[in-house]
């Protein structure tokens, strides 16, 4: 389970941290959930975020995997809600679209774009942490203009509808 932190100053975002929780070392699913909750609370108490953005659950073929993912997301959300922090969910496609302009981009494409945008020196081996960072950056790009199901017919349409995000 990856996470990423950015700081917003005015209209600029600044990279703080990206990482992932190493959950595979825990055999018990409930211990994993407790670890997610505790680490999320620790991050909240350390960095005092104003908002939390997460990737919304997506539909997959493996019901057991989806159930476990939903529980993990719910525990992370509960940690934020326990500290009265607003939470916004974004679909995986919306996050990819915000970062790369392509809702079907690969994890590697998203990671490379984040590296370029935020000036990251290197990328982690496991890209779960860049997924978390991508949700934060997507939220930054969508501040004050969250809309559900916005579609683009292509790159030209995306650019035209997002002129403020383009550095000239």
Annotated binding site for Mg(2+): 55, 128
Residues making up the annotated binding site are 55, 128
Terminal Cα-to-Cα distance of the chain (whole angstroms): 36
Q: What is the DSSP letter of 12?
A: E
Please say whether the dihedral angle defined by the alpha carbons of residues 147, 152, 155 and 158, taken in this order, is positive or negative: negative
Rg of the chain over Cα atoms, rounded to whole angstroms, equals 16
Select which of 20, 51, 89, 128 is catalytic. 128
SS3 120: coil
d(CA 121, CA 45): 27
Select which of 55, 89, 122, 163 is catalytic. 55
Q: Tell me, yes or no, if 27 is annotated catalytic.
A: no
Q: Are 110 and 18 in contact (CB under 8 A)?
A: no
Q: Are 155 and 101 in contact (CB under 8 A)?
A: yes
What residues are labeled active site?
55, 128
């Amino acid at each position: 389970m990856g996470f990423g932190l950015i700081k917003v100053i005015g209209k600029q975002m600044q990279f703080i941290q990206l990482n992932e929780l190493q959950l595979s070392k825990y055999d018990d699913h409930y211990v994993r959930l407790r670890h997610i909750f505790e680490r999320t609370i620790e991050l909240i108490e350390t960095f005092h975020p104003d908002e939390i953005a997460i990737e919304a659950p997506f539909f997959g073929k493996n019901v057991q995997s989806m159930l476990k993912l939903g529980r993990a997301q719910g525990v992370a959300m509960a940690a934020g809600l326990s500290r009265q922090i607003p939470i916004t969910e974004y679909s995986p496609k919306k996050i990819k679209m915000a970062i790369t302009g392509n809702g079907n981009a690969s994890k590697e494409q998203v990671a490379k774009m984040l590296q370029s945008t935020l000036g990251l020196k290197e990328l982690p081996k496991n890209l779960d942490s860049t997924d978390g960072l991508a949700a934060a950056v997507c939220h930054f790009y969508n501040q004050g203009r969250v809309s559900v199901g916005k579609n683009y017919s292509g790159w030209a349409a995306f650019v035209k509808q997002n002129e403020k995000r383009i550095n000239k």
